[in-house]
Structure 1
Amino acid sequence: MKASVYLVLATLFWSGNFIVAQAAVASMTPLDLTFWRWTLAAVPLVLLAHFVEKPDWRAVLRRWPVLLLLSVLGMSGYTLLLYGALGHTSAMNASLITAANPALIVVLAMVLTGEKTTRRGWFGITLGLLGVLLVLTRGELQRVVSLSLNIGEVMMIGAIFVWGCYTIIARRLDVPAITATATQVVIAGVTLAPLAVAANVRLPETPAEAWSLAYIVVFPSLGAYLLWNLALKTTAPGTAGNYLNLIVVFTAVITVVLGTPLTIVQIMGGLLVIAGVLLTGTKGRSKSPAPAVPTPASDPAPTGRHTP
């Protein structure tokens, strides 16, 4: 029961990242948010990893090439694309596109690693794709042949592709989850620093900007990772992955509470995407080892066992 509460809270925090970041990018750049998010989260995550997992840091650092690649993909690339997308499309549409990530990961695993899936899995992938297309075409599927996508939606598709590649690589990393996250976050802060200086990255200048950044650092970056990893101590990764469907649900609820009504197309697309994700879950795959479903969302998570 406690693990379920942790998983629900983690997905709630990640859902809030869509809403809060969309408001923040109205006055802060994606680089502002990405750089300060990881820079401010780095020290708490390193301390958390050190005292909770007690890793052999020398052994961890010997894996620096793959950790660097993962940091560039998951921490820097995914987050920059996500925040860039939220400047051009709604949080709801972004979360719906992100919800197709587990199905995309299955496809990438088949292409890149030869992993197999079942007919049920293929049906789920098709449903998920149909749901995303429904949202992108605003319910007019015949427009797919001449589809003109919003730049934000293009960036969001790019983000989930980057996250999919990240997951395929990350799930083979034999480093404890929080330690891997903390190391990649530190690398992201260091590698983004030259860009931050060149782009004259700034700290929040208004109370609204400061509260937005504080939420992004404390809840999606620290709280959600901790809760997710605590839950994984007693919950199978595949089971935990199904909770990620709640990101779309929570984003929809928050969107409505804030006064933006959902369209029928968004509701139908969301239902199709969630159904597709459930069908491509571990029970619907072949007997070959199935990867854990990572968070799509808004938060990268290094071992493929947790999420953006």
Structure 2
Amino acid sequence: MKFKAWTFLLLCNLFWSGNMIVGKWVTDYFSPIWMVSIRWFIAFLFLFPLAFFLEKPNWLKIIKENYIVLLFMSITGTFVYNWLTYVALQYTTSLNASLICALNPAIIMIFSFFILKIKIKRVQVLGLIFSFIGVLLVITKGKPFLAFQLNYNIGDGFMILCVIMWGLYSVIGKKANHIPPITTIAITAFFGCLATIPFLINTPLDFPNLTSASILGIIFIGVFPSFLSFLLWNIGNRMLTPAVAGLSINSLCMFTAIISFIMGKQILISQISGGIIIVSGIILSSNLKLNYLNKRNEIVKNYTNQG
């Protein structure tokens, strides 16, 4: 179960790394609020029929009984988080944004402790530290102390708010475990789109400035970082605790480095080392190795008893 959960979470972060790269480019053609509205409209077009045929939910009953949680998830995770991300990318550098995103696991752990009353194990804290060190190595090119010499701007402030919004979304989303996952994302995508409408009226779309490449970019964001990523995140988040699932977010830097390499940019040894440390921290905090050894020992014990 944990291996499957981590596969979902890592794929989710792979698509999100694509959102950081494509999203920063697409903001030259679409305003942040239009990007949020269009990406979730596209995602809803996939989510609604999928939920309707696979999960067959009673839509009105689910919304009526869970409207507070669903509205909260829609506002924090679907609308505000994504809007703040695109606004931040207009002001801050990818280096600053990556550093601040590394705070996600810590914020989720803190919210999990205070809201869900989930105890934080020492091994999780150790894994968090490992992952954070790996992130620093990746984004500072092997010179982690440079992180304290960066000049922060308004975009960094928006990114900090993004981290807080995602922490709240992840933790409160745990309270929607009884709702089918595809149905949950479909409803929050719908509510998230509705929330953008009042802001779209005062932000006209610049149609003459659009290109075929920018339209393909927004479609990519709607399908992969929106539809697939949020679906995979919610499934993985339900299989694990939000605090453990949050550690996977640190893999964003590793995937960004890989994509950059494919696009022809140089990758340093420090970035490769950082990626290995990030994965090590994730494995340590999720107890994957420990669970594997316990399962193996159990199999050996049962086989010995049968013999």
Q: Which residue of structure 2 lines up, in the alignment, with residue 23 of structure 1?
A: 25
Q: Report deviation, 1:127.
A: 3.0
Q: Report deviation, 1:216.
A: 1.0
Q: Which residue of structure 2 lines up, in the alignment, with residue 176 of structure 1?
A: 180
CA distance in 1, matches of 2:261, 2:148: 32
Change in CA separation of 1:90 and 1:214 when aligned onto 2, cut-off 3 Å? same
Does 2:255 correspond to 1:253? no
Q: Report deviation, 1:78.
A: 1.1
Does 2:81 correspond to 1:78? yes
State the identity as a percent: 34
Q: Which residue of structure 2 lines up, in the alignment, with residue 51 of structure 1?
A: 53
Which residue type is aligned with residue 178 of structure 1? I
Q: Report deviation, 1:66.
A: 1.8
Which residue type is aligned with residue 220 of structure 1? P
Q: Which residue of structure 1 lines up, in the alignment, with residue 162 of structure 2?
A: 159
CA distance in 2, matches of 1:235, 1:155: 28
CA RMSD of aligned residues (A): 4.0
Q: Report deviation, 1:172.
A: 1.0
Q: Which residue of structure 2 lines up, in the alignment, with residue 276 of structure 1?
A: 281
Q: Report deviation, 1:144.
A: 6.5
CA distance in 2, matches of 1:54, 1:120: 40
CA distance in 2, matches of 1:27, 1:150: 23
CA distance in 2, matches of 1:237, 1:225: 14
2:202 corresponds, among 177, 198, 201, to 198
Alignment check: 8 A CA contact 2:135 2:253 kept: no
Change in CA separation of 1:103 and 1:95 when aligned onto 2, cut-off 3 Å? same
Change in CA separation of 1:248 and 1:117 when aligned onto 2, cut-off 3 Å? same
CA distance in 1, matches of 2:141, 2:12: 30
Q: Which residue of structure 2 lines up, in the alignment, with residue 112 of structure 1?
A: 115
Which residue type is aligned with residue 83 of structure 1? Y
Q: Report deviation, 1:129.
A: 3.9
Q: Report deviation, 1:42.
A: 2.0
CA distance in 2, matches of 1:115, 1:2: 22
Q: Where in structure 2 are there 5+ consecutive unaligned residues? A: 291-307
CA distance in 2, matches of 1:238, 1:110: 9
Does 2:138 correspond to 1:122? no
The correspondence of residues 191-230 of structure 1 with structure 2, limited to 5 A, is 191-202=195-206, 205-224=210-229
Q: Where in structure 1 are there 5+ consecutive unaligned residues? A: 286-308
Equivalent position SS for 1:172 = helix
More helix per residue: 2
Which residue type is aligned with residue 18 of structure 1? M
Q: Report deviation, 1:156.
A: 2.7
TM-score normalized by structure 2?
Answer: 0.74
Q: Report deviation, 1:200.
A: 2.0
CA distance in 1, matches of 2:30, 2:278: 31
Q: Which residue of structure 1 lines up, in the alignment, with residue 303 of structure 2?
A: none
Alignment check: 8 A CA contact 1:102 1:277 kept: no
CA distance in 2, matches of 1:138, 1:246: 16
Q: Which residue of structure 2 lines up, in the alignment, with residue 289 of structure 1?
A: none
Change in CA separation of 1:33 and 1:137 when aligned onto 2, cut-off 3 Å? same
Q: Which residue of structure 2 lines up, in the alignment, with residue 297 of structure 1?
A: none
CA distance in 2, matches of 1:146, 1:201: 38
CA distance in 1, matches of 2:67, 2:238: 26
Alignment check: 8 A CA contact 1:103 1:280 kept: no
Which residue type is aligned with residue 40 of structure 1? I
Change in CA separation of 1:253 and 1:93 when aligned onto 2, cut-off 3 Å? farther
Q: Which residue of structure 1 lines up, in the alignment, with residue 297 of structure 2?
A: none
1:64 corresponds, among 67, 76, 94, to 67
Alignment check: 8 A CA contact 1:242 1:278 kept: no
Which residue type is aligned with residue 186 of structure 1? F
Which residue type is aligned with residue 252 of structure 1? A
Q: Report deviation, 1:212.
A: 0.6
Deviations 1:134-174 (A, max 9, x none): 67777665567776424444433321221111111110112
Deviations 1:179-203 (A, max 9, x none): 0100011001111100111122456
Change in CA separation of 1:51 and 1:96 when aligned onto 2, cut-off 3 Å? farther
Alignment check: 8 A CA contact 1:238 1:282 kept: no
Alignment check: 8 A CA contact 2:17 2:252 kept: yes
